[in-house]
Chains A and B, each alone.
Chain A
Amino acid sequence: MVTVIKKSFLVKGLKLPENKISANKPIEKLPVPKKTLILLQQHFGEPCTPVVARGDKVKTGQIIADSDKLFSAPVHSSITGTVTNITKVINPFANNIVDAIEITADEIKNEDEWAELETDKLMLEISENLKEIYFENFKNNFSETQKKSKKTEAENLWKELIKIINETSKENIIQKVKDAGVVGLGGATFPTHVKLSTKKNIDTLIINGCECEPFITSDHRIMMEHGWQVLAGAYIIFKVLSAKTTFVAIEDNKEDAIKLFSQLIDEANLGMNFKIISLKSKYPMGAEKTLIKNVLGRKVPVGGLPMDIGVVVNNVGTAKAVFEAVSEGKPLIEKVITITGDIKDPKNLLVRIGTPVNDLINACEKFDMNNFKIVLGGPMMGNVISDLNFPITKAANCILIKKTKRLTEGNCIRCGRCVNICPMNLMPLMYAVYTKNSKFEILREYNINSCIECGSCAYVCPASIPIVAYIKTAKSVLSGYGK
């Protein structure tokens, strides 16, 4: 049996209104866009340099930019067409200007032709079979006896799949993951192959299915509809890292996902090493550092990485992408994006990377855009975009359309709410005070670089001081931006 560990003791964090209005909407596929703009730095690390020139014909899944640095991940074309432009774009995620390649589909042919992918035929076959079983299971329309036979069938398939994964060499998997350009899809976009090829001794893998930000449901939908892929991907990562335990961390507001995963782990017979942790839904539970602390009780040292304490955290979407990369050789060119907020029909869409935001908005029911803001990301950490042609990147997981309420910044009354709530034990009010007075150097004393910019402080601030905005300003000044 699978152990579901419940962590329900008092955890530090915010109780936010969840607003997961799109939780029950199945993932829909957005039609392949006519034009994409693909940023060349969609990951944490070095930007890529284009390997195609203007006018080149590219196929879907073809590498269009790469870098020989370690901290980098190649970028692929997400549609079939012609490279029409190589320009520069402001990236609100990293606050910098990056190169971007514009690809336009053929207007007449309008086809989606994939580049040749390096597939693992055996694995692909099994995964197709599993997909069939679980997809039908998802619809849930058969009798008990049928269910039983399907279950044994699934168990056999899992056995084979695990055998194949066990036989695949580590180097092979890491190379495939690297070629596919897989990065951490939780938002930090840390190149996954770097995580996988760590030399450090890893004992625990955590699969992050928390999704603690309100509104976003893309990870939830991935878990529900592609749960088996997530699990298989998790197993691959688990094998590569030669970890001892894997925790699938899910917040307790996603009961269905917890149930599904215990069933999946049961069928895959991985109960020995795979455990599910049901965490209290508090913000920011899904942030790497707080997650590790709440699951294992370990603390990531200041300035360190989870690997330093023998832990690797991967998002459920990343696990799925890893499995697709290993089995199908499919590069990371698609992402599930939640489009939600103050709109009538929130959706979960499977979107090609580089699709302009406008296409996603048009897929929803029309609404009056007046006085709305379009947020790329969740309500707590997302960035507002000013240009509807801005493309979807690997970091995006949500488009939030919110009515604007203008808040006036009041005086800080030093109530200490931000200090109490801060998951990193900092004093956010000082960041606002000293940034206003341009005394940036003092902020180092207050450990500003430990801040994860989760936005909890600004959320609770009674004076509605935009503390995160001040922190971002101070951080960029301190890092010597613009000098």
Chain B
Amino acid sequence: MENKEIKKSEENYNSDRAEELVISHAPHIWSGFSTSKIMYIFLASLIPPTAAAIYFFGLRAFWIIIASTITAPLVEFIIKKARKKKFIMDGSALITGLLLALTLPPRIPIWMVVIGSAFSIAIAKEAFGGLGYNIFNPALAGRAFLAICFPVEMTKWYLPQTFAADAVTSATPLNESFVYEGSKIALYKNMFFGNIGGSIGETSALLILIAFIFLIVFKIIDWKVPVIFIVTVTLLSFLWGDDVLFQILAGGLMFGAVFMATDYVTTPVTSTGRILFALGCGLITFVIRRFGAMPEGVCFSILIMNGFTPLIDRYVKPKPFGYIREKPKMKSKPKAKLL
């Protein structure tokens, strides 16, 4: 009798319906805002500076961008295959490639671009475990690598000569030898619109601002990081008596603050941590610009702060909801012993 019952219940259990049910964990809905979506929106935000690069620095810039953005995903694909891991085209390698290209000087040989791009992906990203595991910003690491290996080529600056054959060598505004003939307002105007020497993507402040607003609107980056970064540099320069507006517009500060210091993987996750990160970047940038041997410090300041990220994440935690700070107990002071 009992056996029969069990058999019956088993039959119920094994009804054809029950077998097809799917088991999974909560939550059962998802925002659908995937990593690759974020990456492609970020890529879209890089269109204005890229366009500016090609407009101001001509075909050379175009080839640099193409070389770098093709090398990066290609190297990632090869390494993923070598590591027997699945290659996912999520756009992150494209971003690294493009960012690297935009931070390079306009007349750098293409083979150096390829080396830099390959280094970015192979050493700075994949060697650490791939997307999400790298400590240093891959694009900046690639740039730093190139700056160390090819210091001459990496510091040859030209004035923007749209699609012209002969270009005039010029210093970037931050170089000590930089002289501008003309009024200060015309200089600021040129620096704001991008008609000035420098890395191909960093010169036009206007287009970087547009990209910044675009990224804020799509909720990709935290507005605090670029703002605090730039404000720190400004404040310190002001206190030191530098030309403040010049310090903001010159060099890669805006580009680095908007696109590099906001990189997810290599910056802290908490709001307070990000503020600390931005403050540190600002401070180091100022110190390198003012006292260092190099004219520009944005790249290394961000790389140095990248190194601090795990530490910041470990010690800067948000206070949990309803957290009560333990009241410091009134310690009875040990009575001083008479020696």
Write the residues of chain A forming the contact surface with B, with a CB cutoff of 8 angstroms: 16-17, 214, 289, 293, 299-302, 304, 369-375, 377, 379-389, 400, 402, 404-405, 407, 410-416, 419-420, 423-427, 429, 445-447, 450, 453, 455, 458-460, 462-464, 466, 468-469, 472
Task: Tell which of A214, A373, A410, A412 touches B24, judged by Cβ atoms closer than 8 Å.
Answer: A373
Q: Which residues of B contact A299 (CB under 8 A)?
A: 321-322
Are the CB atoms of A446 and B22 closer together than 8 Å? no
* Assembly CA distance A306 to B135 (angstroms): 42
Q: Which residues of A contact B88 (CB under 8 A)?
A: 410
Q: Which residues of B contact A463 (CB under 8 A)?
A: 34-35, 132
Q: Which residues of A contact B27 (CB under 8 A)?
A: 379-381, 455, 458-459, 468
User: 0/1 per residue, B16-34, Cβ < 8 Å to A?
Assistant: 0110111111111111011
Are the CB atoms of A450 and B320 closer together than 8 Å? yes
- SS of B interface (majority): loop
Are the CB atoms of A369 and B17 closer together than 8 Å? yes
Q: Which residues of B contact A427 (CB under 8 A)?
A: 269-270, 317-318
User: 0/1 per residue, B33-52, Cβ < 8 Å to A?
Assistant: 11101100000000000000
Task: Tell which of A293, A384, A416, A459 touches B31, judged by Cβ atoms closer than 8 Å.
Answer: A459
Write the residues of chain B forming the contact surface with A, with a CB cutoff of 8 angstroms: 12-13, 15, 17-18, 20-31, 33-35, 37-38, 88, 90, 92, 130-133, 222, 264-265, 267, 269-271, 274, 317-324
Are the CB atoms of B30 and A425 closer together than 8 Å? no
Task: Tell which of A304, A383, A415, A445 touches B26, judged by Cβ atoms closer than 8 Å.
Answer: A383
* Assembly CA distance A76 to B216 (angstroms): 56
- B269 nearest in chain A by CB position: A416
Min CB gap B31→A, angstroms: 5
* Assembly CA distance A66 to B23 (angstroms): 33
Q: Which residues of B contact A304 (CB under 8 A)?
A: 322
Task: Tell which of B18, B21, B130, B267 touches A411, judged by Cβ atoms closer than 8 Å.
Answer: B130
Min CB gap A428→B, angstroms: 10
Are the CB atoms of B133 and A372 closer together than 8 Å? no
- A371 nearest in chain B by CB position: B22
Are the CB atoms of B23 and A468 closer together than 8 Å? no
Are the CB atoms of A400 and B264 closer together than 8 Å? no
Min CB gap B223→A, angstroms: 13
Min CB gap A41→B, angstroms: 20
Are the CB atoms of B20 and A372 closer together than 8 Å? yes
Q: Which residues of A contact B17 (CB under 8 A)?
A: 369, 388
- B38 nearest in chain A by CB position: A462
Are the CB atoms of B25 and A468 closer together than 8 Å? yes
Task: Tell which of B21, B22, B271, B321 touches A289, judged by Cβ atoms closer than 8 Å.
Answer: B321
Min CB gap A83→B, angstroms: 14
**With contacts A16-B29, A289-B322, A424-B321 known, is A462 near B269, CB below 8 A?**
no
Min CB gap A14→B, angstroms: 8
Are the CB atoms of B30 and A469 closer together than 8 Å? no
Q: Which residues of B contact A404 (CB under 8 A)?
A: 22, 24
- B25 nearest in chain A by CB position: A469
Task: Tell which of B29, B131, B264, B274 touches A379, judged by Cβ atoms closer than 8 Å.
Answer: B29
* Assembly CA distance A462 to B91 (angstroms): 14
* Assembly CA distance A16 to B322 (angstroms): 25
Task: Tell which of B12, B20, B26, B324 touches A370, judged by Cβ atoms closer than 8 Å.
Answer: B20
Task: Tell which of B13, B29, B33, B132 touches A389, judged by Cβ atoms closer than 8 Å.
Answer: B13
Task: Tell which of A302, A375, A387, A429 touches B324, judged by Cβ atoms closer than 8 Å.
Answer: A302
Task: Tell which of A16, A405, A426, A472 touches B320, judged by Cβ atoms closer than 8 Å.
Answer: A426
Are the CB atoms of A382 and B318 closer together than 8 Å? no
Are the CB atoms of A375 and B28 closer together than 8 Å? yes
Q: Which residues of A contact B267 (CB under 8 A)?
A: 414
* Assembly CA distance A17 to B322 (angstroms): 28
Task: Tell which of B23, B318, B323 touches A373, judged by Cβ atoms closer than 8 Å.
Answer: B23
Min CB gap B265→A, angstroms: 5
* Assembly CA distance A458 to B29 (angstroms): 9
Are the CB atoms of B318 and A411 closer together than 8 Å? no
Residue from B22, B28, B271 with most neighbouring chain A CB atoms (10 Å)? B28
Are the CB atoms of B323 and A415 closer together than 8 Å? no
* Assembly CA distance A415 to B271 (angstroms): 11
